[in-house]
């Protein structure tokens, strides 16, 4: 009988690729999705579906037992919310409730709990010549990052949990929508930056992230945390340079004053607040977008998870842009 993995956030960008990777590895998949979630893009896959009540631990135990899952990949999370409290509830409290429930499923059925955290839980460095390691003292600069760090801290209070924490850097690939904004701009001939400060950035292609996530299900490690990137560092112009090369585009490069962009972000926050939403560009997000150094070490993942990224930025962008073009997202 096939081993089964429960994937939360299954209808999302990363969740979709996790499903594909799990099926390719011969796992049965139960996709946890919210009622009303768009799942048309998943209908061609032979998978099961379930809903989870993250507010009710007792109910969660029953729901997890009913899935018959052997592994859990918890990839659901809020990337835009109206307050720190809202982030903490979804990203930390719900995570803890799910993990606590997993420990109470009869016969220790669930043998691995993988939490999809974020490099944002650590925060960037101010020194461009150093790397973010798993031993760096966390100093997140956004509410999202603080909520992911809080989730990690809550999980650490469950020492019996067969836990693996993954901290991916900026993830790109087919179906991603945030970096797509920049790609669309480049496709239209505009290449915009906030200020002129030097930066060191890092990226990971979603297929590499999905692959190492599935690998971690079968690893022998527990209660360990891993940074995930493609292992390289890039200056602030490299993503655009490669996109222009792949798309055969010339662009007008603009350096927008930081104060002007901050004012725009403030205005967008006020407008979106009327709709009960948070804009992609907000004042907190600016701290991530303009940070000096997001390059991280992946040596720990290489040693303990056998992580070997297959996609450098140029190869991953070529596949991504081809998918956007084929599906008319650009």
Q: Mind spelling out the 3-state secondary structure of 60-114?
A: HHHHHHHHCCCEEEECCCCCCCCCHHHHHHHHHHHHHHHHHHHHHCHHHCCCEEE
Domain extent for 206: 4-176+202-233+294-311
The pLDDT confidence band at residue 113, using thresholds 50, 70 and 90, is very high
Task: Give pLDDT, residue 244.
Answer: 97
Cα 300 to Cα 133, 226, 229, 296, 307, distances in angstroms: 9, 6, 12, 11, 9
Res. 239 pLDDT band, cuts 50 70 90: very high
Q: Is residue 261 part of a domain?
A: no
Question: Has residue 220 been placed in a domain?
Answer: yes
Confidence at 209, pLDDT banded by 50, 70, 90: very high
Condensed to tens digits (0 to 9), the pLDDT of residues 143-201 reads 999 999 999 999 999 999 999 999 999 999 999 999 999 999 999 999 999 988 899 99
Give percent above pLDDT 70 in the chain: 100
Flag whether 259 is in a domain. Answer: no
Percentage of the chain lying above the pLDDT 90 cut: 82
pLDDT value, residue 36: 78
- With a cut of 80, say whether residue 276 has pLDDT above it: no
DSSP 3-state assignment of 167? strand
Q: Residue 19's pLDDT band (boundaries 50, 70, 90)?
A: very high
Asked if residue 21 belongs to a domain, the reply is yes
pTM over 0.85: yes
Q: What is the pLDDT of residue 80?
A: 86
Per the document, the length of the chain is 330
pLDDT in tens, 94-106: 999 999 999 999 8
What are the tokens at 124? 């960037």
Residue 274 lies in a domain: no
Which string of DSSP letters, residue by residue, matches 194-240? ESS---EE-EEEHHHHHHHHHHHHT-S--SEEEEES-S--EETTHHH
Distances (CA, A) of 58 to 72, 100, 137, 161, 307: 17, 10, 35, 17, 36
What is the phi/psi pair of residue 254, to 5°?
A: -120, 135
What residues does 193 pair with on adjacent strands? Answer: 255
Q: For 55-93, write each residue's pLDDT tens digit.
A: 999 999 999 999 999 999 999 999 888 889 999 999 999
Task: Tell me whether residue 58 is in a domain.
Answer: yes
Instruction: Look at the chain and report how many structural domains it folds into.
Output: 1
Residues with Cβ within 8 Å of 9's Cβ and at least 6 positions away in sequence, in order, are: 15, 32, 74, 75, 76, 77, 116
**What CATH number is associated with residue 62?**
3.40.50.720
Tell me, yes or no, whether 268 lies in a domain.
no
pLDDT of residue 305: 97
CA 259 to chain centre: 28
pLDDT at residue 106 in the model: 86
Tell me whether residue 277 is in a domain: no
Task: Tell me the average pLDDT across 104-131.
Answer: 94
């Amino acid at each position: 009988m096939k081993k089964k993995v429960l994937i939360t956030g299954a209808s999302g960008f990363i969740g979709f690729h996790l499903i594909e990777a799990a099926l390719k590895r011969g796992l049965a998949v139960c996709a946890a999705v919210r009622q009303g979630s768009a799942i048309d893009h998943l209908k061609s896959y032979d998978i099961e579906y379930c809903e989870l009540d993250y507010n009710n631990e007792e109910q969660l135990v029953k729901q997890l037992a009913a899935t018959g899952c052997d592994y859990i990949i918890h990839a659901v999370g809020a990337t835009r919310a109206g307050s720190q409290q809202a982030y903490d509830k979804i990203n930390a409290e719900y995570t803890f409730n799910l993990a606590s429930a997993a420990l109470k499923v009869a016969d220790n059925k669930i043998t691995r709990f993988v939490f999809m955290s974020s490099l944002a839980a650590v925060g960037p460095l101010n020194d461009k010549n150093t790397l973010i390691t798993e031993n760096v003292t966390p100093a997140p600069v956004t509410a999202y990052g603080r909520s992911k760090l809080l989730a990690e801290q809550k999980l650490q209070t469950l020492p019996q949990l067969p836990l693996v924490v993954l901290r991916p850097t900026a993830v790109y690939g087919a179906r991603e929508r945030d970096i797509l904004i920049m790609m669309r701009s480049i496709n239209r001939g505009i290449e915009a930056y906030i200020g002129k400060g030097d930066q060191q950035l890092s990226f990971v292609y979603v297929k590499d992230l999905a692959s190492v996530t599935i690998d971690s299900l079968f690893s022998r490690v527990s209660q360990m945390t891993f940074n995930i990137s493609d292992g390289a560092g890039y200056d602030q112009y490299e993503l655009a340079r490669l996109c222009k090369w792949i798309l055969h585009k010339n662009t007008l490069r603009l350096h927008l004053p930081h104060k002007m962009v901050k004012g725009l972000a403030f205005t967008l926050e006020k407008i979106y607040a009327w709709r009960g939403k948070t804009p992609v560009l907000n004042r907190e997000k600016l701290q991530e977008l303009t940070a000096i150094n997001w390059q991280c070490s992946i040596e720990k993942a290489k040693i303990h998870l056998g992580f070997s990224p297959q996609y450098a930025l140029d190869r991953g962008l070529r596949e991504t842009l081809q998918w956007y073009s084929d599906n008319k997202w650009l």
